[in-house]
A and B are shown apart, each in its own frame.
Chain A
Amino acid sequence: AQSVTQLDSQVPVFEEAPVELRCNYSSSVSVYLFWYVQYPNQGLQLLLKYLSGSTLVKGINGFEAEFNKSQTSFHLRKPSVHISDTAEYFCAVRGGSYIPTFGRGTSLIVHP
């Protein structure tokens, strides 16, 4: 079985400040990890993914995430956010099953 916990339901931050969105997972097998972003009234689109190799993964729009196997975490970071980053962010894990498990989402709210 696999599960994903997004520790914060909402993260408010001021523009140009750094941000970290937290994600912890559990799985009995090796996993592939994903972060998706959902802008208002749109579907989910891929930000970045970890399959293997370097534990630091870079994605679109300046986001990056670090896979930490010992802490079973895959936190998403951005050094300086913009108003346009306001959106819902979903962490997902895909392990032995082809079926991914999504977290409940974290709402990032960027204030001017």
Chain B
Amino acid sequence: DAGVIQSPRHEVTEMGQEVTLRCKPISGHNSLFWYRQTMMRGLELLIYFNNNVPIDDSGMPEDRFSAKMPNASFSTLKIQPSEPRDSAVYFCASSQTVTGNTIYFGEGSWLTVV
């Protein structure tokens, strides 16, 4: 079975540029999560979708960050404009909407903003 698929795996971009990260959740999963991982802050939840609807975006750091889920099989996380402090690993994860169900993570998108 295909797991959560993220692209790109690695991105290096210049400060001020727009960055778009993409995610394809596991088929049949109706919950989708975007996380950011840094050494300083650990694993942070940015936003959570249920049935394609954003439920909790309180973790989105500022207006430069936006996320969409136009359908059940695709989501994007966009940073515009990017800044060096956005450098991190961004994970997408999905699960079925049952509290005890496992969350499955993608391999991550490694973003470096120079």
Binding site for B on A (CB under 8 A): 32, 34, 36, 42-46, 49, 51, 90, 92, 94-100, 102-105
List 10 A-B pairs, minimum CB-CB distance, nearest first.
Answer: A43-B105, A32-B100, A104-B42, A44-B105, A51-B100, A102-B43, A43-B107, A46-B102, A43-B108, A99-B48
Size of B's binding interface in residues, CB under 8 A: 21
Nearest CB on A from B110, distance (A): 8
A43-B4, A43-B108, A102-B42 are known contacts; what are 11 more A-B pairs with Cβ within 8 Å?
A: A32-B99, A42-B107, A44-B93, A45-B105, A49-B102, A51-B100, A97-B99, A98-B97, A99-B48, A99-B56, A100-B103
Q: Which A residues are in CB contact (< 8 Å) with B56? A: 99
Per the bound structure, the CA–CA distance linking A98 and B95 in Å amounts to 10
- Show 19 A/B contacts (Cβ-Cβ < 8 Å), sorted by A: A34-B102, A36-B105, A42-B107, A43-B91, A43-B108, A45-B105, A46-B102, A49-B100, A51-B100, A95-B99, A96-B99, A97-B99, A98-B31, A98-B48, A98-B50, A98-B99, A99-B33, A104-B42, A105-B42
Q: Which B residues are in CB contact (< 8 Å) with A90? A: 43
Main secondary structure on chain B at its contact with chain A?
strand
Nearest CB on A from B56, distance (A): 6
Nearest to A9 among chain B residues (CB) is B42
